[in-house]
A and B are shown apart, each in its own frame.
Chain A
Amino acid sequence: MAQNESRAPKMTFSFDALMRALRYMLKNYGALFCFVVVCIAFSAFAINRSMLFTQILIDDYIEPMLVSGSTDFSGLAAEIVKLGVILVIGVLASWGFNRLMVTISQGTMRNLREEVFEHMEGLPLRFFDTHQHGDIMSVYTNDIDTLRQFYGQTLPQLVNSTITLVVTFTTMVALSVPLTAISVVMVVIMLVVMGRVSGFAGAFFAQQQTDLGAVDGYIEEMMDGQKVVKVFNHEADASADFRRVNDRLRESSKRANLISNLIMPLNANLGNISCVIVSVVGGWMALSGGWGLTLGALASFITLNRNFSQPVTQVSQQMSFVTMAAAGARRVFDLLDEEPEADEGYVTLVNAREMEDGTIEEVEERTGTWAWKWPHRSTGEVEYVKQAGELVMDHVDFGYTSEKTVLHDITLFAKPGQKIAFVGSTGAGKTTITNLINRFYDIEDGKIRYDGININKIRKGDLRRSLGIVLQDTHLFTGTVMDNIRYGRLDATDEECMEAARLVHADGFIRRLPQGYQTPISGDGAELSQGQCQLLAIARAAVADPPALILDEATSSIDTRTEEIVARGMDALMAGRTTFVIAHRLSTVKNADCIMVMEQGRIIERGNHDELMEQRGRYWQLYTGGKVGE
């Protein structure tokens, strides 16, 4: 698996992130992990004992028996039984830590996934707008995955190696100090050699990574434009260009792999050389006597010596995973460190009943009437304001970044039930206004009031619940048609969902689907036509039955029949609700109580259709098809 480097992200090592990943695991699984360490220790101990057993076998039994000519194996039998018991414990310990690490690593992964997801759901829209969706996805698909390798394999391996190293070292020292010194020197040499080689390899891997990126980029670009390539007979040129980038990758990846392939034989044979030196020196020591080294001890030492250099090799093999995990952890924690959407709102939306004297009373059950529960901070009084859907924007300025204001001095007033249409070019700021009303973004200057309450005082969830929304890109969710409609109001009954569908004229097509309301939809509704998806999104908003609506009409297509059905659905939904509509359809605009003509973040004209036509300004120009100046 050491060849996975090709997928390794940039080699910036982040020790902090790695430590944080470790702490994250220990937080929930600290005790269990301690137990794992104990198990690893037991297992390493058992392995060590089985190594040492050669010495006991030769020195304490075979040699004396050879000398004495005894054939009494009972002593040995007892010794072997003892070893057997230790080994059984070792096997159990080995199984124990392997099995427990599964729980620990997978449990940690699950916690991390959940936490990342939950945190992500709480992030402001700005985060999603300023990050590539692919990058966000990659945290789940790549970065958390690198931690799986780290928790599941690298970590126990490191613990194991450390313990083996310590245990082996201690035993070696007990057997012979001078020989241990030789082994240590050899291991140091190995470390130095490895360090140098991996230093080289690192640079080459970075180059390989860059070239791989170039190749991937070229492939993606060309596959995307493959049809254009064909139309322009550009196949041969494309192949030639590809060969150029691909050959660069061939060179750098050859070099990178070559260097990393050197590590294994270098290490193994430094180990062998170490073994030879220990054999020769040890042999001389055993023969010359006076060093207290027996033949059996030497035999054991030779095995131990190998065992001593092995963990070093193993740790070095894990290094690339450690680097990858550190980089992955960095990105995971970066996401977790993103500031979540703040919500200081304290005005909430409650079910209400209007008393005969006009006062409003809060009730438990759904009445279809809603009120804002507004606890005044200064007096401690609680005021109930009937939710009507009145919306005022008062001298609002806004910019996605502080350097660039995209909305300038927007002032508008929507009475309950009124329909406000926005028209203007793409980028004029229509969508931005709607983003502000439901507080996807917060304004810089000015005020927005909903039923007379500054929307900053309203709890975001309640504010958004009171505003239905139908976006131009209809996002549906995996599930049935019914599930998707119910998304608007989770406690809606099947009957209520169907009622909503009927209201917006979606019922007809749904019934004609193979399984009606229970037809499963995958992802973004690939099974349905664009118009059908839109109808479902409208039904979804209808079942929520909000007093106010934000609609982003789809750009009209020539498919007039579907468009008509969708339009009817929209009209049904809008009836009786305060509506902000980003309009593309003529009929929508004509029926609007007020049309806001936007350009470059300003409202440049306002009024109803007839008034605006009379002005013969931008609206008239848009309406008549840009014939101004002809």
Chain B
Amino acid sequence: MRKLFAPFALYKRDAVLSVIGTVGEVVMEVFIPFITAYLIDRGIEAGNMDAIFFYGGVMLVMAFLSLGFGLLAGYFSATAATGYACSLREAIFDKVQTYSFGNIDKFSTAGLVTRMTTDVTNIQNAALMLLRIAVRTPVMLVSSLVMFLSISTELSPIIIVAAIFLAIAFTLIVSNATRTFNKVFDTYDDLNASVQENVGAIRVVKAFVREAYEKERFRAAANKLYRLFVRAESIVALNNPVMMIAINSCIIAVSWLGAHFVVGGTMTTGQLTSAFSYVSQMLMSLMMLSMIAVMITMSMASARRISQALDEVPDIHDPAEPVASVANGQIDFDHVSFAYATGDGENVLEDIDLHIASGETIGIIGGTGSGKSSLVSLLSRLYDVTEGSVKVGGVDVRSYDLTELRDAVSVVLQKNVLFSGTIAENLRWGNENATDEELMNACRAAGADEFVERLADGLNARVERGGVNFSGGQKQRLCIARALLKRPKVLILDDSTSAVDTATDARIRAAFKTYIPGTTKIIIAQRISSVQDADRIVVMSGGRVNAVGTHDELVATNEIYRSVFESQAEGTGDFDVHAAQDEDVTAGKEA
């Protein structure tokens, strides 16, 4: 939680000024009925018009002071709360930038987005609320009480009884309501999940003519939610009547006792009038306190989620004395075992011992879950090995400066994304100083030149968020070009040409030979044709290296490889992939 409040320190001055403003505002507000009492007693009752003007003047001054304080509080609470929210958002964002892949996996994209958007907004609202109301209410409570007591100590038992009554009642209401509301929110989530399910699976619902059935299920869930909501809100509905009971009882008691005191001469009429306002002010403050309690419990969940993100310890660090440059593309896996921290603890890679010479082209093939992606992710230290060691250029990857390592080992991720901006901007992620000429060269090597050149704006064409205005194959080729621009020592393609037709795929591989001849190339693919001409092919199975060899050797000796090869040998086994044409603008419609 400490880190959650750290950014608030930046706005200490604003917060303090806001608190001062609020306190001043409240004190003024409390004094005003007091002056009203004088106005009535010394002015009106004494028949003294001068006194009326004097106290009226004082009241007016106070109202303006109060306004001034109010504006001060309003201004600085706004700057403090919104500033805090922005700094908090920045703090989370920056923190996430330090995360390793392992940390990111733990949170999920949606989880991180929620933390930075909804949760921060909740905290901002809570902060604003706390700065204004949470300061205001206790001050109001205390000063009303002081003023009330200064009018009459004899009436104080009434207030004490009423306060105790309210405190107990509100505590019961708040705790019961919170409990029931938690149940409500769970049910609410369920209901929304079922809507989501229906929206997503509407084809299935309609194909099986299950509309009536789904309606029935939804009706049951909606009714359950209704019953819970009614139960929860019925509890909250007690708030107002309880408040009124307290205020009314106080008014009756103060009236009765007050009348006796006034008649008995220990109290003036004006004081009695003020006493009434203080009583309601005090009780109102108590109700506000109960609201604040609800508000805080509600924002606690957000605070906890944000703290999790801020307290997360990045599990990959630069070493103390990092090796500054990667010598070459030689790769050594020495008895490597690896398990994901977020997984079930089982190793996804088991005792991998694999040595690749600099400049070699390696194909990797294997079933889903056989550990291909995990294996290559260790190279640029996206994850750290559990056992053994991974060396690039003869040096353990954990000894390198991370930036240096990742510049030298370029990965085209399986789930890759383009960002909103222009094509050139996206490509320059690979090398910020690249000239347009260099960008085009990379496009050429990645087989992206043919469609980039056809675009009206060429390299300056817009890329929509997520690259949705490009087809799958085009996106993959742009991602490859981006990775090539690094001029890496090792290039890893993790199933990066799956949406590219075989002919283009072959052209890209051929271009690599001239564009990055000295680079070690690791190609993970599902198509045999993509790896067939590699220097060596690694067959992965169940987290182990099943076999290593050339295409011909593997066809001859390895059963897994041969069965895959045979299933693809005649045709490809997959008509869709082969036919992947970039012109498919209508693809979205087919989903």
Contact = CB atoms under 8 A, between A and B. Distances in A.
Contacts of A221: 419-420, 465-466
B74 A262 contact: yes
Contact of A107 (B226, B237, B277, B429): B226
Interface stretch (B152-160, B320-328, B351-359, B574-582): B574-582
A615 B244 CA distance: 90
Interface string B563-574: 110010011111
Contacts of B214: 121
B262 A272 contact: no
29 contacts: A6-B121, A58-B269, A73-B259, A102-B237, A121-B211, A129-B589, A136-B199, A217-B465, A219-B89, A221-B420, A224-B466, A226-B99, A230-B101, A236-B97, A239-B90, A249-B86, A253-B85, A276-B59, A276-B63, A286-B44, A425-B579, A469-B207, A490-B213, A523-B193, A524-B197, A557-B526, A558-B564, A622-B578, A623-B575
B329 to A, nearest CB: 17
A62 B262 contact: yes
Contacts of A33: none
A627 to B, nearest CB: 8
B225 to A, nearest CB: 7
Interface stretch (A86-94, A381-389, A512-520, A569-577): A86-94
A378 interface: no
B308 interface: no
A449 interface: no
Contacts of A133: 196, 199-200
A261 B263 contact: no
A84 B44 CA distance: 30
Interface string A422-455: 0111111111100000101000000000000000
B419 A302 contact: no
A535 B45 CA distance: 92
A257 B52 contact: no
Contacts of A242: 90, 93
Contacts of A98: 237-241
A86 to B, nearest CB: 9
A210 interface: no
Interface residues of B, number: 168
A583 B121 contact: no
A424 B579 contact: yes
B455 interface: no
Interface in B219-242: 219, 222-223, 225-226, 229-230, 233-234, 237-241
B59 A626 contact: no
Given A90-B244, A273-B63, A586-B573, A254 B419 contact: no
Contacts of B382: 227, 230-231
Instruction: Among B117, B204, B406, B466, find the residue whose CB has the most chain A CB atoms closer than 10 A.
Output: B204
Contacts of B413: 227-228, 231
B66 interface: yes
Interface stretch (B360-368, B438-446, B549-557): B360-368
Contacts of B75: 258, 261
Interface string B241-273: 100110110011001101110110000010011
Contact of B74 (A95, A110, A222, A261): A261
Interface in B28-80: 29, 32, 36, 39-40, 43-45, 47, 49, 52-53, 55-56, 59-60, 62-64, 66-67, 69-71, 73-75, 77-79
A257 B78 contact: yes
A53 B259 contact: no
A268 to B, nearest CB: 7
Contact of A223 (B113, B197, B482): B113
A252 B406 CA distance: 38
A188 interface: no
B543 to A, nearest CB: 14
Contacts of B273: 54, 58, 299, 302-303
Contact of B586 (A46, A76, A215, A406): A406
Contact of B70 (A83, A225, A264): A264
Given A265-B71, A477-B197, 8 more contacts: A3-B125, A63-B269, A91-B244, A235-B98, A258-B79, A426-B590, A623-B570, A623-B572
Contacts of A225: 417, 419
B175 interface: no
Interface in A37-78: 43, 46-47, 50, 53-54, 57-58, 61-63, 65-66, 71, 73, 76-77
A276 B56 contact: yes
B81 interface: yes
Contacts of A106: 226, 229-230, 233
B132 to A, nearest CB: 8
Closest 8 CB pairs of A and B: A265-B70, A261-B74, A475-B201, A427-B584, A425-B579, A98-B237, A95-B241, A272-B63
Nearest to A100: B237
Interface stretch (A277-285, A314-322, A362-370, A411-419): A277-285
B203 interface: yes
A34 interface: no
Nearest to B273: A299
Nearest to A234: B429
B380 interface: yes
A622 B579 contact: yes
A49 to B, nearest CB: 10
B290 interface: no
Nearest to A421: B575
B56 A280 contact: yes
Interface string B513-530: 000000000000010010
A288 to B, nearest CB: 9
Nearest to B125: A3
Nearest to A628: B503
Nearest to A93: B241
A216 interface: yes
Given A94-B240, A269-B64, A287 B49 contact: yes
Contacts of B85: 253
A332 to B, nearest CB: 13
A28 interface: no
Contacts of B47: 287
Interface stretch (A111-119, A161-169, A173-181, A499-507): A111-119
Contact of B584 (A65, A215, A425): A425
A584 B574 contact: yes
A487 B589 contact: no
A295 B45 contact: yes
Nearest to B495: A558
Nearest to A422: B575
B288 to A, nearest CB: 12
B202 A125 contact: yes
B202 to A, nearest CB: 5
Contacts of B570: 586, 623
A306 to B, nearest CB: 8
A393 interface: no
A77 B255 CA distance: 10
Contacts of A299: 40, 269, 273
Interface string A119-152: 0111001001100010011001100000000001
Contact of B578 (A488, A540, A585, A625): A625
Interface in B81-96: 81-83, 85-86, 89-90, 93-94, 96
Given A58-B269, A280-B53, A298-B44, A275 B368 contact: no
Contacts of B572: 622-623, 625
B197 A53 contact: no
Contact of B199 (A137, A264, A556): A137
Contacts of B587: 426-427
A102 B25 CA distance: 35
Contact of B208 (A54, A122, A464): A464
Contact of A626 (B198, B430, B501): B501
A141 B233 CA distance: 19
Contact of B575 (A141, A226, A265, A424): A424
A233 interface: yes
